[in-house]
Structure 1
């Protein structure tokens, strides 16, 4: 036996062992990187979905809480007058829901010198874009009622989120259906006042 074979080369064994484990470590490292990237992508996707849901929920709450309406005098009905030149009539106020969610209009009142309006206590559910007619009582002082100043009508409105909000809308009375409906009775009041004098 020669002396060459009796020597154990420790350095060779480490090189062979290192050569075999290096690819295993590289594969494990790549696998870990792939898992980290996959976890990151899943986190981004879930975060994006969560943020989108939160934004949608907030937008829906804002939409359900918003009130946008338009109102105008729609018609005038029967009524009577007293000796002081005050005309009391029934009428209707048309209300259009210009907002994005349904609303329930529960009251409508307005007052300025010579004109008073109040609803008769009936609520109206209005879908988005829908129109409802609210029955009102009108009190009109004929000599002063029909100036150019609009009448601010205050509405009590329940929104889709079940909150009650107060909103106002300026309604033009001059030239309206209420004005035209009151002209003849007011003229009759003026004539009777002239005959009394």
Structure 2
């Protein structure tokens, strides 16, 4: 009987490793679940990180867009005024300057000042809000020396511009005055002051 019992003990002992080995698939499943969770966490982190980076990039792009300024300007009108007290061959007239907002954000154009030998331009103190692609007309005062004002050299006009982020920036734009509306409008008054100067001499 004891011999039979020993055989049974051996059989039972033989089954134990098999039973403990039977838990291996459960461990594999647990490892797979852990791997899946890690991958899912990585994917979620990557997505969230991508969204954060995208938002930061969008915010930076918006700031740059609001801060950027691009203008185009050209003379559109001259009239009124006449000879001033600055000497012979000099006239003072009223004019207008067209300003186009070529940038991506709305701006407000304030001061406009330009000077080179023969011509001076200054605004009359009125500001103009401009949407992107919009055009505004700025009233200016001109001081023109008839003999040199309309040479081929452009006149650099400095604009004071408030951007969408409420920062004030200065932007310069070279305005061609030779052959412009200012040039054409000043021809007759310049002839008059030149003739008067010769007649007075």
**Residues paired across the two proteins, number:** 197
Q: Give 1:19's match in structure 2, choosing from 11, 21, 26.
A: 21
Which residue is equivalent to 1:54? 56
1:161 CA drift (Å): 1.1
TM-score (norm 2): 0.93
Residues 62-111 of structure 1: per-residue CA shift (max 9 Å, x gap): 11110101000010121121352211111100000000001111110000
CA-based RMSD:
1.4
Note the 1:10-89 alignment, pairs <5 A. 11-82=13-84, 83-89=87-93
In structure 2, runs of 5+ residues without a counterpart are none
Task: Please tell me whether residue 150 in structure 1 is matched to residue 154 in structure 2.
Answer: yes
Q: What is the alpha-carbon distance in structure 2 between the residues aligned to residue 185 and residue 96 of structure 1? A: 29
Q: Which residue of 2 aligns with 1:100?
A: 104
- SS of the aligned residue for 1:8 comes to helix
Query: Gapped runs of 5+ residues in structure 1?
Result: none
TM, length-normalised to structure 1: 0.95
Q: After TM superposition, where is structure 1 displaced by more than 4 Å over at least 4 residues in a row?
A: none
What are the superposed Cα offsets for residues 9-41 of structure 1, whole Å, 9 maximum, x if unpaired?
374243133233111111100000000010111
